[in-house]
Structure 1
Amino acid sequence: MPAAKPLLLIVDDDPLIAESLSFTFARAFDVVTSHSRPHALNLLRQLRQAPQLALVDLGLPPLPHRPDEGFALIGDLLALAPDMKIIALTGQNDDDNARHARTLGAIDFVGKPCDPGRLEALLRQALSFGETPAAEPAAGLIGDSLPMQRLRLQLGQYADLAFPVLIEGESGSGKEVVASHHLHCLTVRRDKPFLALNCAAISPALLEPTLFGHARGAFTGAAGARSGYFEDADGGTLFLDEIGELPLELQPKLLRVLENGEYQRVGETQTRHSNARIIAATNRDLRKEIRAGRFRADLYHRLSVFSVTVPSLRDMGGDRLLLLEHFTRLCAAKAGLAPFSLNPAARALWLDYAFPGNVRELRNIVIRLAAGHSGQEIGPQRLRAEFDTGDEEAPATPSALAAVDLDRVREAARKHLEQTESLTLDATLELWERGYIEAAIELSGGNMSRAARRLGINRTTLYNRMESWNRR
């Protein structure tokens, strides 16, 4: 039987381009195509396994308040399938787009019209590196900074306890590695199952039977009885990633399992029991989700008996060099290439960069440098091309601060309070934020980089704040 071909997802709203690329790559890959961000996410949730590779057009049709659907889709795909290798495509071949697509997690960027031969070579090269987790199992957490020392200390205290742990941290920071390695593999449960479920990767309608199992005929398509994650992880560890995406109506059932271990398969009345330890992770502020009515306070308190925060790279100082050396060795060994090096000026630039995409971004930069500069010494000019530095967050200048008249703002607030019987400060501040963001985008002609600079934030922060509107 021939080996299964790698699965490739192509997302482009131009059917001619999608069909052409699909035909071109059909010999080397199993290809699935999509025309929009919502369709691609729905398709991914229905597939039995996530594609290893994706080609994403950055110029997808925009949804309201989200002019860059392609950029948003990169983050969405990696949230659902963290090991997916994504190559971004665009008709606007500019460095700004390239750097930002890479910051979000794309391994490379190709302008249209693109040479199919070059694209196929990039796809095969991405596969040759295979999975590059944030740390090899034997290496543990990499870093000597105070945040990493604090994290190690906490993990050592909590690892062998049976209570739930909530892992918080930004996207790309390595939360699953902490769960699988430090809170499972190094514990007394190491010989028991470790199961991971991304709560955002499954249709809400299927999430309950996936977690708890189902009886035969419980719903359309349930041809036979099936166990769920809680049953299969009994005695081991169940890692629930993106826990903030758990539907509100399902949260009481998860709370019941956390309280007494009891659950029922969908379509059954028999009560079952699971002894799985629950580890949850989120990049959202669950306390804010509670205030917005999207997450139960009692569930949050049960999940966060112990909580740890995986630090962002910008808080890890010299650890960025340790991670550089680690991934350089790892990539060289996987691809059989001579490792590259950075000269002193480039190393200083590496330490100054904030890595908004965290470990995932750092890893992808190393992969590209390893593939294109094997055995070479790299200088700052070449390295700077990899960084999304065009719209770094900058402090407001004195002239900008002078433009804000505090007395006028206070007077407007006083009148608003006098005219409003009940006011929610969070909702009011969010409304002002949305007004400023939409005004900045309008004044910038839809250019998100310029809008971010007007607001004194980086583009990733701008996208994250806009994305939060769609969740409210």
Structure 2
Amino acid sequence: MQHRHACERRETGGDRWTEAEREAVARDHRDAARRHRHRGGDEDRGGFRHKTFVRRLRKCFEDHGRFAGADLTRKQALRDFFEEILLRRRLSDHHSFTLLGDLRDAPAKRFPGELTRRARALTPHLLTTDAAAGRASSARPCVVLVEADPASSRVATSAVATAGGEVAAAFSSQKAAASVPGTVLAIVDVPDRGALDAVDRLVAAGLMVVATSGAGSVALAVEAMRRGAVDFVLKPYTPEALARRLAPRFAEVGQHVANASEADRAKADFGAFVGSSPAMLALYDEIARIAPSRAPVFVTGESGAGKELCAEAIHARSGRAGKPFVALNCGAIPRELMESEVFGHVRGAFTGATEDRAGAVEAAQGGTLFLDEIGEMELSLQAKLLRVLQTGEFRRVGEAHARTADIRIVCATHRDPQVEVAAGRFRQDLFYRLHVLPIRLPPLRERGADVETLANEFLKRFASEEGRAFRRFSPAAMERMRAHDWPGNVRELQNVVRRAVVLGEGEEITPEMLPAEVAAGTQRLLLERIDEAEVEPFWMTERRVIERAVAVFGGNTARAAAALEISPSTIYRKRERWAELGT
């Protein structure tokens, strides 16, 4: 038919439906209805069977609505075309909503998903079920629309689509749900103060709320923002204007989701670690790249930063994950027993050696050997470890023949290894053998918000273990913890939280329950808040101190110098210098 050819032209670049094309489509439907009446079919209020009209409407969508996913102009053309059909058929609003509801809820075998999507896009005010919300596309931000006016609903729906989102559900303000699965933002019409309850419910559900109103009341806008709305848009608005206001909000939601996904990924992939600060995310990435290699790893970091957790993470993500992971703290073993602990011994090798015993190297066969505080190892033992790295062979203490070692060595130290090499306490050749893949663990003071994350994790764990009722930290206590330097890093934080749980009472950790050294951390926070402009040259501070001392002693330079514990000639010399500089 003529209008089908016109549709094909529209798909190749046309932007609007002509009046003649719309009339052709309407004429087809009139003819179909007339033929149906001649066959004696049942009639409804519009003069034709409801099911027949739905079937014809489906055909209309298939023929003329294939461009529903195109630009806004074409979407508007489809809406105008459909509304004209409803007008020509003299359908009531109630009946039109019913038949479109049938389209929305129809089984997929009767109405394809694309057709259902078009019906949903045309009638957002019908989408009032959780099932409809669940069908929203996961690739686009999903929006709840709280709007009683159908015309405003259509404008808002267009704006959401233009900004890159999708309307997943729509309600009146009285029926606004407290939570809609999968949605991240709500557009709420606030005609009066009574509609602010919907803002409260949606903000409490964790949604970002954009309020709209045609009232033009400044007080209403302020109250909506005070209750948690992130923006307020006055009506009437165009789809383009509202889309410009929504686009930054969708970007914020996308960034938040990306950060949450990154944090969840980090937590899933590095379960032993807790934290998603930039420093830790960089560490996770470094571990992921290093783990598959067979080369030795040298971990450095302050005491308590989690060096053994790092070694375990490397082992778990390596090709040796199914083999043993053996950890040995070289600083906790007496020097005379160190060689036996590392390489093992045979019976009778020394006094007390009553049986053969495998060492850490042999126990880690095929897996990973973690040598913590390797800087505490004696130089003679370092030479034997170097041989293992060079030849893959070792001997138990008191044994004549060599054994083969298939291990990956991960070592760690809290000291600067290059300083230890320069001081002669660590073999340079061993250092270069081990320092192939270096990793530095960030101290806790460089991990920002991870302090709060770790503290809450420890609080939950220790409250459960100790059977206490603690649930949170007070804002003042958390501020002091964030300000503390944490020289002992995560281990110190763990001990501080456990001490507070054991010795404190109640549901909240307060500053009084924290150790004095943690409470003193607020001084560092105050120093950090000093602006750079407030830092002055040293000579200015020195001059101010000297002049104040001279003034206190009534201009007596000798007494001022004695109080400052400097020579009077120093004061005279500095004053002459300041005079020369003209300061």
What TM bracket, shorter-length normalisation?
Answer: 0.5 to 0.7
**Residue 313 (str. 1) matches residue 444 (str. 2):** yes
Task: Give the secondary-structure state (helix, strand or coil) at the position aligned to 2:498.
Answer: helix
**1:256: which partner in 2?**
387
Q: Distance in 1 between matches of 2:349 and 2:371?
A: 24
**2:206: which partner in 1?**
none
Residues 265-276 of structure 1 mapped to structure 2, 5 A cutoff: 265-276=396-407
Question: Which residue type is aligned with residue 292 of structure 2?
Answer: D
Task: Give the secondary-structure state (helix, strand or coil) at the position aligned to 1:200.
Answer: helix
Q: Distance in 1 between matches of 2:327 and 2:541?
A: 47
Once the two structures are superposed, residues 205-259 of structure 1 have per-residue CA deviations (whole angstroms, 9 ceiling, x without a partner) of 2111211112222222222222211111101111101100010111111011112
Question: Which residue type is aligned with residue 324 of structure 2?
Answer: P
Q: 1:374 offset after TM fit, Å?
A: 4.8
Aligned with residue 150 of structure 1, among 265, 278, 282: 282
**Residue 344 (str. 1) matches residue 475 (str. 2):** yes
Q: Distance in 2 between matches of 1:386 and 1:375?
A: 22
Q: Distance in 2 between matches of 1:225 and 1:353?
A: 50
Residues 278 and 388 (structure 1 numbering): CA distance in 2 closer, same or farther, change over 3 Å? farther
Q: Distance in 2 between matches of 1:392 and 1:259?
A: 52
**Residue 286 (str. 1) matches residue 421 (str. 2):** no
Aligned with residue 189 of structure 1, among 320, 331, 339: 320
Residues 274 and 392 (structure 1 numbering): CA distance in 2 closer, same or farther, change over 3 Å? farther
Q: 1:136 offset after TM fit, Å?
A: 11
Residues 413-432 of structure 1 mapped to structure 2, 5 A cutoff: none
**Residue 163 (str. 1) matches residue 295 (str. 2):** yes
Once the two structures are superposed, residues 18-41 of structure 1 have per-residue CA deviations (whole angstroms, 9 ceiling, x without a partner) of xxxxxxxxxxxxxxxxxxxxxxxx
Task: Give the secondary-structure state (helix, strand or coil) at the position aligned to 1:166.
Answer: strand
8 Å CA contact 2:480–2:520 kept in 1: the answer is no
Aligned with residue 218 of structure 1, among 344, 349, 355: 349
Q: Distance in 1 between matches of 2:350 and 2:453?
A: 51
8 Å CA contact 2:288–2:317 kept in 1: the answer is no
**2:180: which partner in 1?**
none
TM-score, normalized by length of structure 1? Answer: 0.52
> How many corresponding residue pairs?
268
8 Å CA contact 1:179–1:239 kept in 2: the answer is yes
**2:143: which partner in 1?**
none
Residues 104-119 of structure 1 mapped to structure 2, 5 A cutoff: none
Question: Which residue type is aligned with residue 372 of structure 2?
Answer: D
Once the two structures are superposed, residues 88-131 of structure 1 have per-residue CA deviations (whole angstroms, 9 ceiling, x without a partner) of xxxxxxxxxxxxxxxxxxxxxxxxxxxxxxxxxxxxxxxxxxxx
Q: Distance in 1 between matches of 2:430 and 2:482?
A: 39
**1:379: which partner in 2?**
510
Q: Distance in 2 between matches of 1:372 and 1:210?
A: 39
Task: Give the secondary-structure state (helix, strand or coil) at the position aligned to 1:350.
Answer: helix
Question: Which residue type is aligned with residue 165 of structure 1?
Answer: V
Task: Give the secondary-structure state (helix, strand or coil) at the position aligned to 1:351.
Answer: helix
TM-score, normalized by length of structure 2? Answer: 0.43
Q: 1:198 offset after TM fit, Å?
A: 0.8
Aligned with residue 140 of structure 1, among 268, 272, 276: 272
**Residue 244 (str. 1) matches residue 343 (str. 2):** no
Q: Distance in 2 between matches of 1:317 and 1:184?
A: 27
Residues 217 and 137 (structure 1 numbering): CA distance in 2 closer, same or farther, change over 3 Å? farther
% identical equivalent positions: 44
Residues 449-468 of structure 1 mapped to structure 2, 5 A cutoff: none
Q: Distance in 2 between matches of 1:165 and 1:400?
A: 50
**Residue 302 (str. 1) matches residue 433 (str. 2):** yes
8 Å CA contact 2:484–2:522 kept in 1: the answer is no
**Residue 335 (str. 1) matches residue 466 (str. 2):** yes
Task: Give the secondary-structure state (helix, strand or coil) at the position aligned to 2:401.
Answer: coil
Once the two structures are superposed, residues 327-372 of structure 1 have per-residue CA deviations (whole angstroms, 9 ceiling, x without a partner) of 1111122223223422223222221111111101100111112223
**2:310: which partner in 1?**
178
Q: Distance in 1 between matches of 2:337 and 2:348?
A: 14
Structure with the larger helix share: 2
Q: Distance in 2 between matches of 1:384 and 1:213?
A: 44
Unaligned runs of at least 5 residues, structure 1: 1-134, 404-472
Cα-Cα RMSD: 2.9
Residues 363-378 of structure 1 mapped to structure 2, 5 A cutoff: 363-378=494-509
8 Å CA contact 2:496–2:515 kept in 1: the answer is no
Question: Which residue type is aligned with residue 286 of structure 1?
Answer: P
Residues 356 and 400 (structure 1 numbering): CA distance in 2 closer, same or farther, change over 3 Å? farther
**1:80: which partner in 2?**
none
8 Å CA contact 1:204–1:247 kept in 2: the answer is yes
**2:365: which partner in 1?**
234
Greater Cα offset, 326-335 or 391-400: 391-400
Residues 39-118 of structure 1 mapped to structure 2, 5 A cutoff: none
Task: Give the secondary-structure state (helix, strand or coil) at the position aligned to 1:387.
Answer: helix
8 Å CA contact 1:166–1:306 kept in 2: the answer is yes
Greater Cα offset, 235-244 or 159-168: 159-168
Q: 1:167 offset after TM fit, Å?
A: 0.9
Q: Distance in 2 between matches of 1:161 and 1:282?
A: 21
Q: 1:282 offset after TM fit, Å?
A: 0.3
Question: Which residue type is aligned with residue 171 of structure 1?
Answer: S
Residues 214 and 401 (structure 1 numbering): CA distance in 2 closer, same or farther, change over 3 Å? farther
Residues 149 and 137 (structure 1 numbering): CA distance in 2 closer, same or farther, change over 3 Å? closer
